Amino acid sequence: MAADGGMGFATKRREDVRFLTGRGKYTDDYSPANTTYCAFARSTVANGTIKSIDVSAAAEMPGVVAVFTGEDFVEVGGNPAGWAIVSRDGDPMKEPKRPVLAHGKVRHVGDAYAAVIAESLAEAMDAVEAIEADIEELEAVVNMADALANNDVLVHDEIGTNQCFDWGWIEDNRAATDEAIKNAPHVTTLELVNNRLVPNAMEPRCSIGEYDPGTGDYKLTTTSQNPHLTRLLISAFVMGIPENKLTVHAPDVGGGFGSKIYHYGEEALVLAAAKKLGRPVKWTSTRTEAFLSDAHGRDHVTKIELACETDGTFIAFRTETMANVGAYLSNFSTATPTFLHGTLMAGNYTVPNVYVNVKAVFTNTAPVDAYRGAGRPEATFSLERVIDKAARELGINPVEIRRKNFVKPDQYPFASAAGLEYDSGNYDALMDGLEKHADLAGFEARAAESAKNGKLRGLGVNSYIEACGIAPSNLVGVLGSRVGLYDAATVRVNATGNISVMVGAHSHGQGHETAFPQVVADMLGVDPMSVEIVHGDTSKIPFGMGTYGSRSLAVCGSAVYRATEKIIKKATLIAAHMMEDSAENVDFADGEFSVKGTNKKVGFGEVALKAYIPHDFPIEDIEPGLEETAFYDPANFTYPSGAYACEVEVDPDTGKVDICSMVAMDDFGNVVNPMIVTGQVQGGLAQGIGQALLEHGVYDENGQLLSGSLMDYAMPRADDLPNLVVDHSYATECTHNPIGVKGCGEAGAIGSPPTVVNAVVDALQRGGHDVEHIDMPVSPARVWEAMNG
């Protein structure tokens, strides 16, 4: 164990030194010599036929270097979906082409149909206004039920339907689930909406394309959570640039939340333009473009049924969900509502029957894809809302009904009815902690106090399980994933003993630059500050699958662990050679190699130096150098879980909801840096509370985005949040990765929305209002209507 700063230490984030002093280097900070600037012409209608695009006036505008339209990319491939879903009837999902620039038709407001490259951004923007596009507006389809019921208006004419797929999970369980529900003594039904969210990372997307005519090398500098995937998609599907001729570099990235996992057409465009012009081409999204063209999140409409015994024992969950995929399939838009959602629909419970039906629907809206939590918040919200309603109907305490159905500690590994194998957990222990931390017993007294002040107080509880580090590759391949879900790391011990670790995960707020060295330093017994993380650059890193799904530490961290194990193994050989003994007799601890039963020892630094100055190496036995790579493919997901409680006060006159307290008890397995984990949970809670109370991406019936600015789309602010109590001290280790870690990045956003809504409904019920459910965001208007409607 490292003296300080190893596993478990709340080391301050070293990357914050540059972020907090304005020294971060984001994509937009990079302007290579001779850069040109790109601006896009985007559709103002949701559905339309492109009759003609006259760019002649734009091309004559001052400073304009080139103008591109969809016509220029007809021969280029489409941006593919990363996961193939098979419908219940065996048909493959409908997969219409997603072009670099719209051609023939525009399919959502913000769909880019032309791009201007100019000497300055202002000139490019001016010239966009001079493009004469004759786009005949067609009727748009926005509502999912309409889109499925009626084929008169199609988002993609060539597929003849607006339904992407009709998926059943697990289809073989359908009959049994139907039967169980039919025969159940009690069935609770709830229809709910999981509101559309706009990600709104603080840093908007930005991409710079470069091309070197001398070597034929391309470089894309871009705001990505996943540079290797972007390179793979551009190489294999969109542009055919060989991977060894394309570098993708994602430098500091100011938040992603999922929206920067994907490859976007703007990235292909700046590369193509850079090649054509022989000059760098830069595009920086405006906030308005971000609202219109970043992949949105959630947007499910669900009917869920919970069948149970009268004592509250769960018999079955059955759901029917419509999931909006928007106008085009974003890279993981088909995985999010299916394998990241349906598989979690047994929750933390021993329920024997689960059947999930998801219809994915094309609409004339921005694409929808994974957003912090990606499918699991939708699953948790449906489950935990219907459980709350069932508890109320049966007169059972909401904590007790959950406890009654929890998977118990002696049941692991537990095969859930939704097809996953949970490896570890202890939900009762988390609930015990919650009862104490949130002082659930004292609630009635606080409610009485609130009543004195004319407020309705409510208590919401929730338990969640989620699945992080989606895996393993052999399973996901069977299920339709078109990529493997392993990760890679190279640990390079330099001659002077300091260490560079090249990782396939990308850090854009997660603190990898601090946490990953803690793992390595702990294993090698060196100063964490001597370990440096290299990430985000495909030319420097062997391979990687990026950062999403709370996978970085569990998957890439495990690759780092495995590579470090290989380093220790090789260094042991070198140390044995140095001490003239056999490797079996050499121990390694606290940064020192020693020969058992002797006082012979060498330090890790001496071994590192020797590795690079191998004057007397037995070269046939030991190669020079000290660098190892590991690819790690997890055996299973990891399963973080939690128990949350929230108390709210509702103002009966205005419907305004104030969150008085939010307590999050999470089991993340082993924790490398508790301070970073707490920060991750706090951020997730803020986003979850934002979804519950404030955020809503709204399109009107014509497909116009009405919440298209930060004036119209309410992001949570500090004064919308209570003091967040976060406790992750209780842990059950992940059983299948070497660090025993689970994943904490999304938990807060998964666990908090149902907790808040449960609390609001509780407050209204206690106030004598017969309110079963309020859809998010639980705005004052909706609460007031529920009370008075």
Residues that bind other proteins (CB under 8 A): 44-45, 109, 125, 128-129, 288, 291-292, 700, 702, 704-709, 711-712
Nearer to other proteins, 3 or 706 (CB): 706
Report in angstroms how near the CB of residue 705 gets to other proteins at its nearest.
Answer: 5
Count other Cβ atoms within 10 Å, centred on residue 75: 6
Q: Are 98 and 329 in contact (CB under 8 A)?
A: yes
Report in angstroms how near the CB of residue 364 gets to other proteins at its nearest.
Answer: 12
Nearer to other proteins, 130 or 660 (CB): 130
Report in angstroms how near the CB of residue 100 gets to other proteins at its nearest.
Answer: 21
Q: Are 505 and 546 in contact (CB under 8 A)?
A: yes
Largest CA distance in the chain: 87
Nearer to other proteins, 125 or 429 (CB): 125
Nearer to other proteins, 40 or 637 (CB): 40
Q: Are 503 and 559 in contact (CB under 8 A)?
A: yes
Report in angstroms how near the CB of residue 42 gets to other proteins at its nearest.
Answer: 8
Q: How many angstroms separate the CA atoms of 565 and 628, rounded? A: 9
Report in angstroms how near the CB of residue 226 gets to other proteins at its nearest.
Answer: 28
Report in angstroms how near the CB of residue 711 gets to other proteins at its nearest.
Answer: 7
Nearer to other proteins, 539 or 709 (CB): 709
Please name the amino acid found at residue 302: T
Nearer to other proteins, 35 or 44 (CB): 44
Nearer to other proteins, 50 or 672 (CB): 50
Q: Is the peptide bond before 413 cis (omega within 30 degrees of 0)?
A: yes
Nearer to other proteins, 311 or 700 (CB): 700
DSSP 644: E
Helix (H) or strand (E) run with residue 523 in it: helix 512-524
What DSSP assignment string belongs to 433-471? HHHHHTTGGGHHHHHHHHHHTT-EEEEEEEEEE--BS--
Please name the amino acid found at residue 513: E
Nearer to other proteins, 137 or 421 (CB): 137
Report in angstroms how near the CB of residue 134 gets to other proteins at its nearest.
Answer: 10
Report in angstroms how near the CB of residue 703 gets to other proteins at its nearest.
Answer: 8
Report in angstroms how near the CB of residue 44 gets to other proteins at its nearest.
Answer: 3
Q: Name residue 39's beta-bridge partners.
A: 116
Rg for the chain, CA atoms, rounded? 27
- Closest to 631 in 3D by CA, of 426, 470, 486, 782: 486
Nearer to other proteins, 118 or 431 (CB): 118
Q: Name residue 197's beta-bridge partners.
A: 297
Nearer to other proteins, 46 or 250 (CB): 46
Alpha helices (runs of H) in 10-120, residue ranges in sequence order: 16-20, 56-59
SS3 560: helix
Report in angstroms how near the CB of residue 291 gets to other proteins at its nearest.
Answer: 6
Phi-psi region of 514 (alpha: psi -120 to 50; beta: other; left: phi over 0): alpha
Report in angstroms how near the CB of residue 45 gets to other proteins at its nearest.
Answer: 6
What DSSP assignment string belongs to 27-51? GGG---TT-EEEEEEE-SSSSEEEE
Nearer to other proteins, 109 or 467 (CB): 109
623 Cβ contact list (under 8 Å, min separation 6): none
Helix-strand-coil split of the chain, %, nearest 5: 30, 25, 45
Report in angstroms how near the CB of residue 295 gets to other proteins at its nearest.
Answer: 17
Nearer to other proteins, 296 or 402 (CB): 296
Q: How many angstroms separate the CA atoms of 569 and 553, rounded? A: 22
**Burial readout 475-505 (b: 16 or more C-beta within 10 A, e: otherwise):** ebeebbbbbbbbbbbbbbbbeebbbebbbbb
Q: At which residue do the structure tokens 């004052």 appear?
A: 780
Q: At which residue do the structure tokens 């070197």 appear?
A: 212
Please name the amino acid found at residue 734: C
Q: Provide φ and ψ at 62, rounded to 5°.
A: -55, 135
Nearer to other proteins, 106 or 383 (CB): 106
Report in angstroms how near the CB of residue 282 gets to other proteins at its nearest.
Answer: 19
Nearer to other proteins, 127 or 304 (CB): 127
Report in angstroms how near the CB of residue 205 gets to other proteins at its nearest.
Answer: 17
Report in angstroms how near the CB of residue 54 gets to other proteins at its nearest.
Answer: 14
What is the layout of strands, in order, in the sheet containing 246-249?
Answer: 64-69, 112-118, 36-42, 281-284, 206-212, 217-222, 246-249
What DSSP assignment string belongs to 252-288? B----TTTTTS--HHHHHHHHHHHHHTS-EEEE--HH
